[in-house]
Amino acid sequence: MAKIGDFVLPGEVVSDSIKSLRGVTVIGPGLRQNEENPNTLYITEAGKLCFKEPNTYWIEGNRNHYIPKRGDLVVGIVVKKAGDSLKIDIGSAEFASLSMLSFEGATKKHKPDVQVGDLVYAKLLNAHREMEPELVCIDSYYKAGKLGILSNDGFLTNISLGLAQKLLDIENPLLRTLGKKFPYEIAIGVNGKVWINCKQSKDVNTLIKTFEFAEQHDKSIIDICNQLT
């Protein structure tokens, strides 16, 4: 049986005391619940089996192709408008749909001003293999929070899915370390698309070069932070 930290392959099963919080286990990329035994996880891609307290599991591999999963936060590009529906490129095999009514405060009469080419930070509401992925820009309380249309003043870049997972880890110090050097806004999608907004273009370049360095060098995030300080 696969254990945390092991290099695993598709088809293997994780059954070593699967942890949950209030009955919920968060399943990240590379895993799915084993239908034959709900208390185990089925591995769908090669990579390192990772776990974060209290209840999150994922596979850290070298995937470059994003596979949508319900609950994922993604950065997407509006590629088409059709009535009240938008088509969003999130880097998956097919475009996702986003209703114009799935924004905070949107009504039939008052809809957000969204144009083809705009960027959005959205959440996967549904992601079934047989159906088109569906996005929303509101939470369960119909509030936008950090979701919604991203400013055109920002810059879009792409990083690996593995690095995106690391940067989204709340305990990761890299973004905090960069924030001590200069102010910036950032929206990171698990799909590897990153929106950056800085007051100065040189700061955008610093962020991008830092991400490139993290991709190209086999160093820990802590080592990279030490070089920045």
What does the pLDDT average to over 188-213? 92
- The amino acid occupying position 39 is N
Average pLDDT, the chain: 86
Alpha helices in 53-126 (DSSP H): none
Is the separation of the CB atoms in 32 and 44 below 8 Å?
yes
What does the pLDDT average to over 105-132? 90
Query: Which residues are registered as beta bridge partners of 184?
Result: 198
Rounded-to-integer distance, Cα 107 and Cα 104, Å = 9
The pLDDT of residue 193 is 94
- pLDDT band per the 50, 70, 90 thresholds, residue 192: very high
The pLDDT of residue 223 is 66
List every span in the chain annotated with CATH 3.30.1370.10.
155-228
**Strand 41-43 and strand 47-52: pairing?**
unpaired
Phi, psi torsion values for 171, nearest 5 degrees: -85, -5
Confirm whether pTM is higher than 0.95. no
Domain 155-228: assigned CATH number: 3.30.1370.10
- 44-53, 157-166, 177-186, 217-226: range with lowest mean pLDDT: 217-226
The structure tokens listed for 119 are 């960027």
* CATH class of the domain at 73-150: mainly beta
What does the pLDDT average to over 107-129? 91
Pick left, alpha or beta for residue 170 (phi over 0 → left; psi -120 to 50 → alpha; otherwise beta): alpha
7-60: CATH architecture = Beta Barrel (2.40)
